[in-house]
Amino acid sequence: MSRIRAAVLGSPIEHSLSPVLHRAAYRELGLDDWSYDRFEIDEAALPGFVAGLGPEWAGLSLTMPLKRAVIPLLDGISDTAASVEAVNTVVLTEDGRRLGDNTDIPGIVAALHERGVEKVPAAAILGAGATASSALAALARICTGEVTAYVRSTARAAEMREWGERLGVAVRTADWSRAAEALTAPLVIATTPAGATDALADAVPDAPGTLFDVLYDPWPTALAAAWTGRGGTLLGGLDLLVHQAVLQVEQMTGRPAAPLAAMRAAGEVALRAR
């Protein structure tokens, strides 16, 4: 039986939960002839890898540092991916085209909707990296007011304001030294690396709103634990990973309803085993 292949690429990649989630989806959907692997691929190796893909390949998931590097290798990208110049999903069509999309943005929105967060009057973003631009694009869909981004440098501040203009979001920037102020916003999206927000845990207000902390390992972060301890609504990196992976599975397989519950359960088991 011929195999249909998909994989996640990035560097480093050994930590990725994507194989766990996609394989769980294949099992639930009865796609016994599908496989999903991980490959340690950096920017230099990416063109050669993509050029060598045969007709058995259905799709790729991309993580850092490949989300922008892949764009010149594609035949087209979606408006969503173009809005942030980042592709995390490549679908290889039967006629040989390579089409890029960004499922992080609708994944953030879907995860928030799942928790009842449909619209917010204002929001705060902690950090200014690649995930922050996707968060801004998601907020363009659900935030009716101003977004404040807390950043560590004037260059990063300028980048976030530029992204805001491009995405049609009113963005104000503030220095990271004032990051505790972010915690009073009705929605806070933390996009920073592990440990970066630990010092903010003691500043969580008595009645916090919603925190979306995009980390999943280690979990919970000190900020996340403090947030739930004070009764706030919490979303974590697994929420984002599952919702964006659902969209990837649907695009790569052509199946309209990927099994979110089974994928989430598989991810939770994998995280507990770490």
Domain that holds residue 212: 106-235
240 closest CA partner among 127, 100, 125, 105:
105
CATH of residue 124's domain is: 3.40.50.720
Residue 114 shares a structural domain with residue 134: yes
The answer on 21 and 91 residing in a single domain is yes
188 and 212 housed in the same domain: yes
pLDDT in tens, 6-54: 999 999 999 899 999 999 999 999 999 999 999 999 999 999 999 999 9
Q: Are residues 138 and 212 in the same domain?
A: yes
pLDDT higher than threshold 50 for residue 101:
yes
Please report, for the domain that includes residue 80, its CATH number: 3.40.50.10860
Q: Is the pLDDT of residue 139 over 60?
A: yes
User: In the annotation, is 67 catalytic?
Assistant: yes
Q: Are 228 and 114 members of one domain? A: yes
pLDDT at 38: 97
Considering the domain architecture, whether residues 78 and 122 belong to the same structural domain is answered as no
Is 231 found in the same domain as 115? yes
- d(C-alpha 143, C-alpha 120), whole Å: 5
In whole angstroms, give the CA distance from residue 263 to residue 43: 29
194 in the same domain as 110: yes
Number of domains in the chain: 2
The per-residue pLDDT for 218 is: 86
Same structural domain, 92 and 118: no
> Are 183 and 154 contained in the same domain?
yes
Q: Are 86 and 120 found together in one domain? A: no
- The catalytically annotated residue of 67, 98, 156, 243 is 67
Rounded mean pLDDT, 85-91 = 96
Q: What is the mean pLDDT of residues 104-126?
A: 97
For residue 274, what pLDDT is reported? 82
